[in-house]
Amino acid sequence: MRVYLLIVAVAFVVSASLTPLVRSIGARTMADIPLRARDMHAEHIPKLGGVAMIAGLLAALGVASQSPFLAGVFTRPDLLMGLVLACLLILVLGVADDLFDLRWYFKLAGQVGAALIMAVSGVRLEVLPVGWWHVAEPGWQIALSVFLMVLTMNAINFVDGLDGLAAGIAAIGSGAFFVYCYALARDVNQYDHSNLGALLMAMLFGASLGFLVHNFNPAKIFMGETGAMVIGLIMAVAAIAVTTDVQALDRFRFRNVPAYMPILLPIAVIILPLLDLVLSIVRRTARGKSPFSADRGHLHHKLVDGGYTHRGAVLLLYLWSSLIAFGTVALSWVDLAILLPIWGALLLGAALLTLSPWIRRRLSQRSLAKARRLDIERDGRL
């Protein structure tokens, strides 16, 4: 565990330290870029924070490569080299999009390229955790893996709309995912607790927190396309890698909830971005627009328009992410008879809190309407 804490610290320090430098560069290079109608801020804020995040990730990966404890992870140098190349491709693509606002098909092509690099390097979905269907054909393994990585990259990108939202959700999700991966590694091999998923989540946790120091409301910098895409890539790679670990545990298959954690947990971690992505595609398609066109209909927009402050909306979405992600992780170890009532009560409380502005507005409208009726009746008697 101490090695993983070191990885978190390295990623945090590098990301937090480089973000001000990146911000000063972005302030000079992006000053003339006009604000968009959907932007939630009234002034220019640099969008190159993902550069510092990638620097933190790669620095942590470099330190991890020198640790004897993690030697088992680095037996596949092609896989780690693929990760570095994919991050560099995302770096170039993300910076270019933040500066020049690339067409959606250029971004999609770059995302597919980064995912292909990872798939060719060995990150492939060889088994589907639902029923444990084996995917024997290499072509299908690559196709499914690329689809999952591109889907996750876009899901995270869709939720990146308020100060600190994407970085905070990434930190919460990676923290929950790390707990699961580390515990799973201890079950798989009692002598070797090194694990690719745990390493990636420790790196992402540190880099996200380091950036969040500068990105929480009021934000001094945004992560931009670079940060959103690298978060999605790292999460998807970890999700694919963990299916191999669970395969090693015959006792998990078909018999209990942990057998389905490789598919439940990644979905739980990105459930809010994924829901936002699906709703956005449906909404835009119904209006006859491209699914990749931008608008102001995201979940965070609805919360702000409903009466929440920017910070309040972000904290509320943090709450939902924490309840869903850590609640799903708890399914593996906590008795369902104990967990489900507590989890259900917490989710119900979060739902009531979410709806409270609309409930208060509805009650206020009813009270006002009642007062008007009384006034009319009193005037009629007079």
In terms of DSSP H, where are the helices of 216-269? 224-247, 261-269
Q: Kindly state the helix (H) or strand (E) to which residue 296 belongs, with its residue range.
A: none
Cβ-based neighbour number of residue 340 at 10 Å: 13
> Tokens 């009466």 label which residue?
307
The answer to whether residues 74 and 65 touch, using CB atoms and an 8 Å cutoff, is yes
Collect all residues with Cβ–Cβ distance below 8 Å to 326 and sequence separation of at least 6.
Answer: 176, 179
Structure tokens that stand for 41 in this block: 């801020």
- In DSSP terms, 128 is beta-bridged to 133
Q: For residue 365, count CB atoms less than 10 angstroms from its CB and return exposed for 0-12, middle for 13-18, buried for 19 or more.
A: exposed
154 labeled part of a ligand binding site? no
Spacing of C-alpha 76 from chain mean position = 26
Q: For residue 152, count CB atoms less than 10 angstroms from its CB and return exposed for 0-12, middle for 13-18, buried for 19 or more.
A: buried
- Binding-site residues for Mg(2+), in ranges, read 157
Annotated binding site: 157
